[in-house]
Amino acid sequence: MGASIAVALCTHNGARFVEEQLRSILDQTRPPQQIVISDDASTDDTLSIATALLARHEESSGHPPLDVIISRNPDALGVALNFEAAMLATSADLVALSDQDDIWRPDRLDRAAREFESRPDLDLVFSNARLVDASGASINRALFEVLEITDADQQLFHEGAGFSLFIKRNFATGATVMFRRRLLDRALPFPSNWLHDEWLGVIAAATGKVDVIDEPLIDYRQHGSNVIGVDFPTLRRKVERVLEPRGERNERLSLQFEQFASRLESVEGLAPPEVVALARVKATFEAERNDLPPSRVRRLSRILAANRHGRYLRLASQGRMDMVRDLLQSHGR
């Protein structure tokens, strides 16, 4: 018998799309054994739509009974904490994360689950996605294209070098993620400055094995009101990033990687010593970037010193291009 599968579906005022997404989950070629819906204080008909569909499914389905858990937060927790609550409520071997507004390919669960069943050391896998508009029509872009995940990046994941990528930036979009539930023992509680998918990805890469599926297993809907969507990397947007004031982003990265390094250091044996050491170097690097002085002239020597130690190439999301960003950005504080 194969691994059991739970779906952790988080909702918030998702009445417009939740039925189509839930149908795509129920119609999987390999159905889940459990669906957990955690609703974040919706004020629309999200839960009534979901409850009615699940009741009709139970009456008509020829599959074994589905374990359904539905909870509602009286006050909104936010995306990360709502997903944490949903994950905690699961009990299957494998957990697939689900947004409320996407559409799954019929074999999404089976395709991902087979990766785990053939590789006992695998902790987390994420996939590509087809980007669609509010009506579900393709916008002729793939998620990996927009996130600039290259063939070389994917090969590093296949070779087990995922941490060398996650130490630079997040690669895993939560809506495409499946993970072994044992990962929660290492990942919980989620720290305050991280999104759930970012944290799961970096912890899995630091403490175990992560891989990627270059197939669009979901339609990832972009409708203008996504809580978390994609930022299309146009030339104009890249120039805007370089020229935007320093401040919030730098502070967030500094806080995030201090939390990450501290977590690895606080639990003996959680990650290999070389991983723990690199996490501390990354935390120091981001703190130094956050503390760069307002004067561009005074910044230059610090940026060049970090480059001489290979830190931009090894640790920055855009490699040496981030040297230009750090030098040119105005000081926004």
pLDDT above 90 for 221:
yes
Residue where one domain finishes, among candidates 186, 221, 256: 221
Which residues neighbour 264 within 8 Å (Cβ) at sequence distance 6 or greater? 206, 270, 271, 275, 276, 279
> What number is the average pLDDT over the span 243-254?
86
Q: Are residues 214 and 291 in the same domain?
A: no
DSSP 156-189: HHHTT-THHHHTTS----GGG-EEEGGGHHHHPS
The answer to whether 259 and 191 are in contact (CB under 8 A) is: yes
pLDDT (tens digit per residue) in 6-60: 999 999 999 999 999 999 999 999 999 999 999 999 999 999 999 999 999 988 8
15 plus 128 within the same structural domain: yes
Instruction: Please check whether residue 228 lies inside any domain of the structure.
Output: no
Q: Which of 193, 221, 249 is the last residue of a domain?
A: 221
Question: Which of residues 221, 246, 273 is at a domain's end?
Answer: 221
- Same domain flag for 131 and 257: no
Q: How many domains does the chain have?
A: 2
Q: Which domain holds residue 39?
A: 5-221
**pLDDT per residue as tens digits for the range 268-318:** 999 999 999 999 999 999 999 999 999 999 999 999 999 999 999 999 999
- Clarify whether residues 199 and 293 are in a common domain: no
Write the pLDDT tens digit of every residue in 118-155.
Answer: 999 999 999 999 999 999 999 999 999 999 999 999 99
Closest by CA position to 212, among listed 117, 111, 307: 111
Q: What is the mean pLDDT of the chain?
A: 93
Evaluate whether residue 333 is within a structural domain. Answer: no
Dist. CA 82–CA 88, nearest whole Å: 10
Q: What is the pLDDT of residue 245?
A: 78
